[in-house]
């Protein structure tokens, strides 16, 4: 399937485009920031949470295609930002941005995109683009917006073809915080915003930030932990000096094998000391690599809020067979066929059978590929935070 076969020629008045590495140009109407960015094009099937998606560091160096056609009606606000670091480059949508009509909105989505340097493109056949990605894999592309409709296509194409792609790329250092800090933010409640957790002696979790979403830390606090967040490349001795009762490995962008070059030795040393560990998304992949498994780039990735995951795991949970509806965002996965002896698969995707969870026999260490802190409707996976903090007693 070639997009050029179903995509019309440049329409009159086009002010934006998505230029793929094969030279295909998808024309539409630009919004948000003016300029051009190059990254990998993916798609997300969620119907809600577009601001959270656009501020998730796991989307660094990616252009998000929203399959839901009406984006913008919730608007944006200051509370639903997942992290204030590099995240999605821009987004592609079907219809023009919908006016905001939510009582929590503080700024329209297109205005927010412009203020945050993110490029938007509307008027695209997102169904055709999504089918293309599913059949051919996630392409590299440039997303561009010029109000006068003038683009230097040869120069843009050269940029796209010169971009190395996500495979082999360590992005965690680009999105990780630069120094360690105590985290005291609590869960959000309507009319009150985010609460504050009292800084008292509780089980102490040191969270390694590979590009973390803030809501993960809020859920650790809600489960009863005291949290200190440290940069991705924090030395082992510095982590041990904080006297952690447990260590959390966060989500993040990029190729896990590249990040693992400096992360895996630290995690192995923590495992040798029998310190409890919980990993989410990239953190799950880091734990798997430390245990001796391998990761691989996926054909199209998993990104959405309706992914069914089944608990399959070897006595890890009495509710084996139960299915969770989960939120996912990853383009790499743990290769389940490479799990060594002593590493048990605990969760598996019902979409394609890929690994979605592991635990390590004889250790208080486990990880999941999906995002239990995300709650776009399903809250099936919040139990994992209670499980981890319960290990630290």
Task: Given the residues 52, 281, 330, 356, select the one marked as catalytic.
Answer: 281
Residue 305 CA, chain-centre distance (Å), reads 12
Residue 367: per-residue pLDDT:
97
Q: Is the pLDDT of residue 195 over 90?
A: no
Separation CA 41–CA 284 (nearest Å): 23
Q: Report residue 327 as tokens.
A: 């939120």
Catalytic residue check, 42? no
Query: Which of 372, 232, 207 is CA-nearest to residue 305?
Result: 372
Model pLDDT for residues 250-287, shown as the tens digit of each residue: 999 999 999 999 999 999 999 999 999 999 999 999 99
Length of the chain in residues, anyone? 393
H or E element: which one contains 304?
Answer: strand 295-311
Confidence class for position 199, pLDDT limits 50, 70, 90 = low
Concatenate the DSSP letters of all residues of 20-63 into one string: ETTS-EEEEEEEES-EEEEEEEEEE--SS-HHHHHT-GGGTTEE
> What's the DSSP call for residue 5?
G
Task: Given the residues 29, 145, 307, 371, select the one marked as catalytic.
Answer: 371
Separation CA 99–CA 115 (nearest Å): 17
Task: Given the residues 52, 324, 345, 373, select the one marked as catalytic.
Answer: 373
pTM for the whole thing? 0.95
Q: Is the pLDDT of residue 365 over 70?
A: yes
Neighbours of 367 (CB within 10 A): 29
In terms of phi and psi (left: phi > 0; alpha: psi -120 to 50; beta: otherwise), the region of 321 is left
Q: CB within 8 A of 59, min separation 6: which ones?
A: 42, 53, 87, 88, 253, 329
Catalytic residue check, 373? yes
What angle, rounded to 10 degrees, do the helices at 214-222 and 383-390 form? 60
Separation CA 327–CA 376 (nearest Å): 8
Please provide the average confidence, as pLDDT, over all residues in the chain: 93
Residue 1: per-residue pLDDT:
47
Calculate mean pLDDT across residues 235-252.
98
Confidence class for position 189, pLDDT limits 50, 70, 90 = confident
Answer whether 211's CB lies under 8 Å from 171's CB: yes
* Domains assigned to the chain: 3-162 (3.50.30.20), 172-390 (3.40.50.880)
C-alpha distance from residue 143 to each of 25, 40, 45, 130, 206 (Å): 10, 10, 20, 16, 38
Q: Is the pLDDT of residue 198 over 90?
A: no
Percentage of residues in the chain having pLDDT higher than 70: 95
Neighbours of 127 (CB within 10 A): 14
Q: Is the pLDDT of residue 158 over 80?
A: yes
Catalytic residue check, 347? no
Separation CA 7–CA 85 (nearest Å): 35
Beta-strand pair 343-349/355-360: antiparallel
> What's the DSSP call for residue 97?
P
Q: Report residue 28 as tokens.
A: 């539409």
């Amino acid at each position: 399937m070639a997009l050029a076969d179903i995509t019309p020629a440049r329409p009159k008045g086009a002010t934006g485009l998505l230029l793929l590495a094969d030279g295909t140009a998808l024309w539409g109407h630009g919004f948000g920031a003016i300029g051009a960015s190059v990254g990998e094009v993916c798609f997300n099937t969620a119907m809600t949470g577009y601001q959270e998606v656009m501020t998730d560091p796991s989307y660094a160096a990616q252009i998000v295609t929203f399959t839901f056609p009406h984006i913008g009606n919730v608007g944006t606000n200051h509370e639903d930002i997942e992290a204030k670091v590099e995240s999605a480059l821009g987004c592609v949508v079907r219809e023009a941005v919908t006016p905001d009509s939510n009582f929590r909105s503080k700024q329209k989505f297109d205005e927010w995109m412009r203020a945050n340097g993110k490029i938007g493109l509307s008027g695209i056949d997102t169904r055709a683009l999504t089918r293309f990605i599913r059949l051919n894999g996630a392409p590299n592309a440039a997303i561009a917006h010029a109000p006068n409709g003038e683009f230097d296509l040869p120069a843009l194409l050269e940029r796209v073809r010169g971009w190395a792609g996500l495979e082999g790329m360590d992005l965690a250092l680009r999105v990780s915080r630069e120094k360690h800090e105590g985290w005291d933010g609590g869960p959000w409640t309507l009319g009150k915003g985010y609460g504050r957790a009292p800084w008292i002696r509780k089980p102490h979790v040191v969270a390694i930030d590979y590009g973390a979403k803030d809501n993960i830390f809020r859920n650790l606090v809600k489960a009863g932990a005291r949290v200190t967040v440290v940069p991705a490349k924090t030395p082992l001795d510095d982590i041990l000096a904080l006297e952690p009762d447990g260590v959390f490995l966060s989500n993040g962008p990029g190729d896990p094998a590249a990040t693992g070059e400096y992360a895996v030795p630290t995690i192995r040393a923590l495992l040798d000391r029998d310190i409890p560990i919980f990993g989410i998304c990239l953190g799950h992949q880091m734990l798997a690599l430390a245990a001796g498994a391998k990761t691989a780039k996926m054909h199209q990735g998993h990104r959405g809020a309706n992914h069914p995951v089944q608990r399959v795991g070897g006595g890890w949970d009495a509710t084996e067979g139960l299915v969770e509806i989960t939120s996912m965002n990853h383009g790499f996965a743990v290769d389940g066929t490479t799990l060594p002896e002593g590493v048990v698969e605990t969760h598996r995707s019902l979409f394609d059978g890929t690994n979605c969870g592991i635990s390590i026999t004889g250790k208080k260490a486990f990880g999941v590929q999906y995002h239990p802190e995300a709650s776009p409707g399903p809250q099936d996976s919040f139990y994992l935070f209670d499980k981890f903090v319960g290990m630290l007693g």
